[in-house]
């Protein structure tokens, strides 16, 4: 997977990710650092995402999968990802996924939920 990310994932992974996470296009594009016009152009030309954007897509998918695993279903997982969270200082988990530090914080909270440690 690392080599695929370095080469650039298909731009078609973006709508798949939106569907998987139940997140609107503008929000996903913001998180992965891709403006709408560039996205539309890449989609029309079937050009891949760049490595940084591909890495962020992979991060979103990985954390979405982790949340689904912990909550047992995509609906509660996606709801959790899109709701303000006290353990994250009132921030919305998905909004933190544009950085490694934010993603680590979200993963830490998910791990605490998995093990029943809510404080």
Alpha-carbon Rg of the chain, whole angstroms?
14
Q: What pLDDT does 117 receive?
A: 86
pLDDT digits (tens, 9 = 90+) for 3-39: 999 999 999 999 999 999 999 999 999 999 999 999 9
Angle at 71 between CA 69 and CA 73, to 5 degrees: 75
Q: What pLDDT does 60 receive?
A: 97
pTM for the model: 0.91
Q: What pLDDT does 119 receive?
A: 57
């Amino acid at each position: 997977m690392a080599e695929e990310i370095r080469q650039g994932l298909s731009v078609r992974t973006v709508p798949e990710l939106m569907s998987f996470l139940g997140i609107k296009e503008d929000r996903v594009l913001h998180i992965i650092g891709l403006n709408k016009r560039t996205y539309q152009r890449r989609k029309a030309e079937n050009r891949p995402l760049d490595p940084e954007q591909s890495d962020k897509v992979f991060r979103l998918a990985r954390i979405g999968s982790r949340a689904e695993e912990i909550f047992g279903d995509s609906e509660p997982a996606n709801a959790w990802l899109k709701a303000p969270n006290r353990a994250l200082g009132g921030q919305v988990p998905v909004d933190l996924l544009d950085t490694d530090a934010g993603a680590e914080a979200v993963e830490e909270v998910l791990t605490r939920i998995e093990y029943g440690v809510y404080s």
